[in-house]
Amino acid sequence: MPKAIYAGSFDPFTMGHYDILLRASKLFEEVIIAIGTNTSKKTLFSPEEKKEMIQEVIENSPMSNVRVILHTDGLTVDLAKKEEANVMLRGIRTVEDMEYEMAIASMNKTQAPEIETVFLMASEKYRFLSSSLLKEIAQFKGSIDGMVPESIGRRMIEKYKN
């Protein structure tokens, strides 16, 4: 059975990410979440915080074939090769996502033709959920219930208090 890398910034990991992960965990032997660390963007959580929070969510879930790692440098396809993963997993919400994801998938193909990108469509209820919108809501004390795993929602609220 194939093994997948689910790479992203996960700042933070939302229920949209969780939904894709849960569905993918039934399709692949193993799913490796690779948290990007080389972003120039200022993030709400550090890579280590993200890792710890996602691990906690997974421990309290029915999933037993998910691992979380930090993607510190280099191309994601090189990380996939190192981890012996043959699939890059991505979620698609909208046509805009599709355009962007197709460009990445196509460039990845030039670097590692043996690795396939697999897209899962976002579930209807998470179609308009993004980490950035979630942060905007949390920052202005709006309700983020049901949009993010509870433990992560608590950590977001704490961050914005400080």
CB-based contacts of 6, cutoff 8 Å, min separation 6: 20, 21, 24, 31, 32, 33, 34, 89, 90
Among 49-57, 121-129, 138-146, 154-162, which window interacts with ligand ADP (CB under 6 A)? Answer: 121-129
Q: Cβ(138)–Cβ(156) under 8 Å? A: yes
* Residue 36 vs 161, nearer CB to ligand ADP: 36
Q: By CB under 6 A, is residue 131 in contact with ligand ADP?
A: yes
Among 16, 47, 149, 153, binds ligand ADP (CB under 6 A): 16
Q: Is 71 a catalytic residue?
A: no
Our CB check for ligand ADP shows the closer of 45 and 126 to be 126
Q: Which residues pair with 66 in a beta bridge?
A: 31
Q: How far apart are CA 131 and CA 23, in angstroms?
A: 19
Q: How many residues does the chain have?
A: 162
Confirm whether 106 is a catalytic residue.
no
Pick the stretch among 76-84, 105-113, 129-137, 138-146 that binds ligand ADP (CB under 6 A): 129-137
Other CB atoms within 10 A of residue 15 CB: 21
Under rule CB under 6 A, residue 20 binds ligand ADP = yes
* 17 catalytic per annotation: yes
Does the footprint of ligand ADP cover residue 129 (CB under 6 A)? yes
CA distance 30 to 143: 33
Binding interface with ligand ADP (CB under 6 A): 8-10, 14, 16-17, 20, 90-91, 93, 97, 122, 126, 129-131
